[in-house]
Amino acid sequence: MTTNEIKNVIMLWSNWASNSHVQRYDIALLKIWIQFERFMSDLIIAYSTGKPSEKGYLPTLKIKFQDEEQFNAFMREGNKKYIEYLSKIEKLSKHIFVNDPFDIIFLDAANKTAYEQIKALRNYIAHESGEAKSKLINLCFNGNPNNFLEPNDFLLTRERSTKNTYYTYYTTIIQNIVDLLVNPPI
């Protein structure tokens, strides 16, 4: 998956969500997040097996995997077939790369906060469990359950620093992260 494909997905779902008959920014963000996860998974596999990004960036490796099969064997827990790439990236990428390209997510305060909030929104939208709601309240509503809004309503409120809706703020952050992952500043 390429950066242009992510941008096209954002445009597609944003146009869908903004339709006056739809107005479902929560579903749009979920669909975008799924593609963002796929992008991140594809990228860590490529980088870890010595393949450059679409912009030619190739991080220096501490460990080089021979191929995707070997990489996935390293990432897989026990005999599980599914690999939770995002949590593995958070835990293991610093051990794979000399200068971890994924640090732009986890070391930049704005990116990390937005990333964690989007992940909490995604989990609540997908599961609506008590645990997912509690994490969402802690991350997006300062821990105050009285401030809770359903994700679609929350995504239409304004983020303080940019004055954009949270939906626009989050999709912009995703686009910026994607661009920085394939072409980090020198």
The per-residue pLDDT for range 95-126, each reduced to its tens digit, is 999 999 999 999 999 999 999 999 999 999 99
Q: How confident is the model at residue 142 (pLDDT cuts 50, 70, 90)?
A: very high
What are the boundaries of each domain within the chain?
Answer: 3-182
pTM of the model: 0.92
Quick one: pLDDT at residue 83? 87
What is the rounded CA–CA span in Å between residue 140 and residue 82? Answer: 28
Closest residue by Cα to residue 132 from 151, 156, 160: 151
Whether 78 has a pLDDT exceeding 80, the answer reads no
Tally Cβ neighbours within 10 Å of residue 36: 24
What is the rounded CA–CA span in Å between residue 80 and residue 168? Answer: 36
Whether 64 has a pLDDT exceeding 80, the answer reads yes
Closest residue by Cα to residue 18 from 175, 178, 165: 165
The per-residue pLDDT for range 39-59, each reduced to its tens digit, is 999 999 999 999 999 999 999
Quick one: pLDDT at residue 79? 77
Whether 186 has a pLDDT exceeding 90, the answer reads no
Under DSSP, the state recorded for 162 is T
